[in-house]
Amino acid sequence: MVFSSLTFIYIFLPVVFLFYFISPKRVKNYILLLSGLLFFAWGEPVYVLLMVFSASVDYTAGLLIDRYDDRPKLRTLFLVGALVINLGILAVFKYASFFVINVNGLFGINLNDPSLPLPIGISFYTFQSLSYTIDMYMRKIKVQKNYCNYLTYVTLFPQIVAGPIVRYSDVANEIDERKTTVSLASEGIGQFVRGLGKKVLLANNIGALWTTVKDTPIEQLPTMTAWLGILAFTFQIYFDFSGYSDMACGLGKIMGFHFPENFNYPYMSKSISEFWRRWHITLGSWFKSYVYIPLGGNRKGTARTLRNLLVVWFLTGLWHGASWNFVLWGVYYGIIIICEKLFLGKLLDKLPSVIRIVYSFFLVVMGWVLFDVDGLAAAGKFYQTLFGFGQGGLMDGNSLYLLSTYLLVFIICILGSTDYPKKIVNKMLVKFRRTEYLVPVFVLGMMLVCTAFLVNATYNPFLYFRF
């Protein structure tokens, strides 16, 4: 993490909330701005200036677009300028090395690789800040004239480095005026602790299995062990990323903000189209609003619709990282979704729900191989091993050992990735009296257990910090 887990939870958060809640209303945004800059600068002392510059570009563009509201060409010029500057910064820091390496390989030349370090969360805060400028151009929001308030929006520390991607329109009213209540803060604390539990108790533990599998030479990897590994990553990335999103949304509620939810039990999806309506919801919504619909969406015939889908999914893959693995990962989903729209969706509708869930889950698991196995060649060998064509055989003694060791964790992860635990808890709260008093006890107990795990934890960042 940007901070160590213990520093963040037990020092940074209490200090921020102490000053936040004792401060008068007019000072609260300054407290949030300072805490956001400090949180980011702790891990990126230089690149915090890059984030401030990017935000300042969009803030200035918003003012100019509002000022020249009756000058269409000028408004377009300011929008294009903001897009070029922000996306140019993203391209230089995230994609320059990828471009140079591929150009060198394609043309046999030797351009210098800039090898720039990737600023934490640059994809998230760039998209977040751009949403303000684009919505201003489309006249969907009112201009924010207070620079401090705008910078507070961009630097909100709960979700600054890994989302959810909060559009300005999501929190426009709350940036200027919001209420903090005991009930909302209580709800936020509960959501934060649930997210912390997902990360510390589930993602970290099941992720240890994937680390073991990845460290095993592919030539020595049995098929069973490969399946255990990629299934472990399937649950690790879900509980890691959704855990962070829950923590971010929970912290937002404590301070009076309502951030959009980012996950809705995606592994219960009955199609890939549904999966992407449930997984990383704010990213899908961003691409739909600012890429798919402006390209024409599904309004201009089948051919244009398919083209638009491929463009969106190519960009979705590229957004996640500068490698052909991510590009192919995005195109992979684009092709599946196109097939579902053309004919596969109608066939799926005729099948039992269980088969549809298995279909969706299997394709998602296959996608995670591309996502996290470095290099296309390595991913290809991993696929071969999954389907019994590797050199390590079908299973060995270590395969059975890993299965027995992680079986309970797998069962908990499977149940935790569904809405059944939530339904059971809600029924208990309705059926039995005074069970609501058990909620604070559960939250406190979860916090204590997470603390015990964090005390002995090594450095273990959230997976999506690298994007």
Q: Which residues are catalytic?
A: 320
Nearest to 25, CA basis, from 186, 254, 179: 179
Amino acid 408 reads L
Place of tokens 């590797």: 390
Amino acid 350 reads K
User: What's the angle, vertex CA 172, arms to CA 171 and CA 173, rounded to 5?
Assistant: 95
In order of 184, 203, 245, the CA distances from 250 in angstroms are: 9, 18, 8
Long-range contacts of 38-41 (CB under 8 A, 24+ apart): 38/157, 39/2, 39/3, 39/12, 39/157, 39/160, 40/2, 40/120, 40/121, 40/155, 40/157, 40/160, 40/161
Please tell me what DSSP assigns to residue 374. S
Per DSSP, the residues of 97-134 read HHHHHHHHHHHT--PPP--PPPPTTHHHHHHHHHHHHH
